[in-house]
Structure 1
């Protein structure tokens, strides 16, 4: 029976490269000389440091431009709240999303059920498997999912005939 998996997986190598390039640009830019502007990555958490909220925004703008150059969707980043650390310095943690949360998976499942296509959607861990009898229905389901769930950078893999 034909099927495919709906997943939310970033290319972590490209994310790390984008963070490294952002750190290099921060080190060489004139407007960041003598400031505490910095960026670092640990596992799936990107931490941005700066002197002010405005500077955090500048570093995030650089990061988003580096991510888009490397074909990584910016929607993978979950922005945390801005925290004050010692003195007038601030930091913000950006989490890199990986996997579909249960609420989003239920949205995908509900959208497929309401579409009246002859398909079944089942939640399997952090992915949603969609199975059906016809390839055309599966391709219609992919288009439907992209349209309905626009806030997540979903991709489709494991397409089987």
Structure 2
């Protein structure tokens, strides 16, 4: 029976490259001269320490641009709240979303059922498997999900006929 999997994976090497490019640009920009700013990549998050709120927003925008240029969607970032740090600085933790949560999985299954196609969708850990009798139905589901406004970046893998 034809099937495919819906996953949300982030290439951490590309995230690392985007963070390194952001660090280089921040070090070279004139409006950041003489201020203390740090960007670090942890296992599953990016930690930004900026001199003030304006600089934090500027660093986040630079990071988003670098991610997009490397083919990653900004949807993979989950922004934490801004926290005050020492010397009037601001800190923000940005989690990198890997996998599809149960709630998002339920939303995807509902979207798939709303297409009224003869396919079945089931949540399996951090992915959703879609099966159907016709491969054309599966391709229609993929197109419907690509057109839908979902909060996570989706990839469609393991298309089997």
TM-score, length-scaled by structure 1:
0.96
For residues 24-73 of structure 1, the C-alpha deviation after alignment (integer angstroms, 9 at most, x for no partner) is 11112222112112211011110111111111001111111111111111
Indicate if the aligned counterparts of 1:109 and 1:121 stay in contact, CA closer than 8 A: yes
The residue number in structure 2 matching 1:142 is 142
Deviation at 1:111, TM superposition (A): 1.6
RMSD of aligned Cα (Å): 1.1
Unaligned stretches of 5+ residues in structure 1: none
Contact 1:121 1:128 in 2 (8 A): yes
TM-score normalised by L of structure 2: 0.96
| Maintained 8 Å contact 1:37/1:59 | no
- Paired residue for 1:8? 8
* 2: CA distance, partners of 1:66 / 1:114: 36
Distance 1:31 1:60, change over 3 A: same
SS at match of 2:34: coil
Please tell me whether the aligned partners of residues 120 and 131 of structure 1 are also in contact (alpha carbons under 8 angstroms).
Answer: yes
Secondary structure of 1:131's aligned partner: strand
Q: 1:38 — aligned with what?
A: 38
CA distance in 1 between partners of 2:26 and 2:116 (Å): 51
SS at match of 1:63: helix
Could you say which residue in structure 1 is the equivalent of 2:129?
129
- Any gaps of 5 or more consecutive residues in structure 2? none
Give the number of equivalent residue pairs.
Answer: 161
With over 3 angstroms needed to count, the CA separation of the structure-2 counterparts of 1:127 and 1:152, relative to structure 1, is same
SS in structure 2 opposite 1:107? helix
- Are 2:97 and 1:83 equivalent residues in the alignment? no
SS of the residue 1:87 aligns to: helix
> Within 1, Cα distance between the matches of 2:110 and 2:59?
38
Could you tell me how far apart the structure 1 residues matched to 2:79 and 2:94 are?
Answer: 5
Rounded Cα–Cα distance in structure 1 between residues aligned with 2:143 and 2:41? 34
C-alpha distance in structure 2 between counterparts of 1:111 and 1:32, whole Å? 45
1:149 positional shift = 4.1
